[in-house]
Amino acid sequence: MTRVNLRDVALFATLSNDALREIEATMPVTRWPAGTVLFRENEPGDSMCVVLSGTIEVVKAMGTAEEWRVRRMQAGSFVGELALLEPGGLRSAAVRAVTDVEIAALQRAGFDALLERQPRVAVELVETLSRRLRETNDATIRDLRAKNRELEMAYRSLQDAQAQIIEKERLERELQLAHNVQQSMLPRAVPVVPGYDFGAMMIPAQAVGGDFYDFIELDGGQLGIVVADVSDKGMSAALFMALSRSLIRAEASRGIPPVEALRRVNFHLLNMNEAGMFVTVLYGILHPANGEFHYARAGHELPLVCDGDGRLIDVPISRGQPLGVLTDPDVDEQHIHVPPGGRLVLNTDGVTDAINRQQKPFGVERLRDLVTSFAVLPRISTQTNCLAMFDTVTAYCEGTPQFDDFTLVIVESTAQGNLPQPVT
């Protein structure tokens, strides 16, 4: 560690050798380890220190959140003189050893005598104080500018955060409104048809979804039943769902066969579908008098049919493709019967694709087993069966977040009709 002599200190540079030896004899040298606090702010000052070796730092508000290092000082510097310039003066800042240091201390009496006998020392002292004051002012201004920049950035960040909160709240309100509008598109109650009991539900994975179902009253007491699933999720799927539903309802209300209705819907979608989305649909017409269900299936899940004893009935199948993509998609057209006491179950893939924590899907086989289990359970309403199926799938998922819309429609053949029930 480099050590300086008093002659190397600017304050004593003009002293004669005799005067320097006289002063040096009155200045004891002490050694302090790094981290030692030599002065504390606002304590009485009775000496000035000269750094003979090592590094010290001058600190304001030491030990507080506002602690500020004013400057660092190397060997050859002096500190503490300000408190000696007035009787009973207090330290204006704390001084702390950065490294191990050697300090020579000049007491108040020696300091006063030095200024009296050596006027040049006073000039050097004034120049040093002036220089330090200018440096401190410059550092203060730099610090204030830096803090102003930080405050400006914090203010802008706060403005951005506030804007994001406002935007988030606006989006949430719009999503809630969209959710309410979409839910209002679904039937408010299941149909009332003598000899049948209906259940239906659609639970979106997000605020809005792409699944939908519908019941359409047709001439001659016939009933149109629709279950559909739009590609993708969220707002875009919800808008395409609304378009698809309106087109299907408009074409089905003509009373034309299901396959013709879907082909007309496909034609309209191709002319309106710039986003390249598609929809899978199962649209069928139920003839209550004989239980016939004449349907057309465009790429959708197969229907499940079971008899009164819970035995599944094989459903014929042919190729079916979604609507909105191809100019002439294949459509699977079939005629099936819902036997007395039996059930027809229509669903979207949000039921069978639901996964558990092991990433295993609920699957078609579990759905088939669930449908057949109704036959051995005490008779409950078909709407309650829908809720029970949803609870079963939810329990299977073991808390895994729902990632797709869940839609079910169940038609049960009964001995007599039932009162309308609210739809979930």
pLDDT tens figures, 76-116: 888 888 777 777 788 889 999 999 999 998 888 887 777 77
pLDDT at 416: 47
Rounded CA gap, 222 and 320, in Å? 24
Read off the pTM: 0.63
pLDDT at 55: 94
Q: Which of 342, 341, 351 is nearest to 393 (CA)?
A: 351
* Mean predicted confidence (pLDDT) in 6-31: 83
At residue 412, does pLDDT exceed 70? yes
Per DSSP, the three-state class of 345 is strand
Return the percentage of the chain with pLDDT > 70, whole number: 90
- Phi/psi at 245 (nearest 5 deg)? -60, -45
At residue 150, does pLDDT exceed 80? yes
At residue 43, does pLDDT exceed 70? yes
Rounded CA gap, 236 and 242, in Å? 10
**Lowest mean pLDDT, pick from 84-93, 127-136, 334-343:** 127-136
Half-sphere exposure of 79 (CA within 13 A, CB side): 27
Rounded CA gap, 260 and 265, in Å? 9
Per DSSP, the three-state class of 228 is strand
pLDDT at 212: 92
Among all chains, which residue has been given the structure tokens 């001659």?
220
Which tens digit of pLDDT belongs to each residue from 232-247? 777 778 888 888 999 9
The 8-class DSSP code of residue 378 comes to P
Within 65-137, strands assigned E span 68-73, 78-79, 94-97, 101-107
Rg, the chain, Cα only: 44
Half-sphere exposure of 54 (CA within 13 A, CB side): 21
**CB atoms near residue 82 (< 10 Å):** 18
Residues 6+ apart with CB under 8 A from 16: none
Q: Which CATH architecture has domain 187-413?
A: 4-Layer Sandwich (3.60)
pLDDT at 415: 61
At residue 294, does pLDDT exceed 90? yes
Greater confidence (174 vs 215) lies with: 215
* Mean predicted confidence (pLDDT) in 182-196: 84
Residue spans per domain, the chain: 6-142, 187-413
In contact, 100 and 44? CB cutoff 8 Å? no
Q: Which segments of 75-118 does DSSP mark as H helices, in order? A: 108-117
At residue 317, does pLDDT exceed 50? yes
pLDDT at 397: 94
Domain 6-142 has CATH 3.40.50.720: no
pLDDT band at 166 (very low <50, low <70, confident <90, very high): confident
pLDDT at 10: 79
Which tens digit of pLDDT belongs to each residue from 344-372? 999 999 999 999 999 999 999 999 999 99
pLDDT at 87: 72
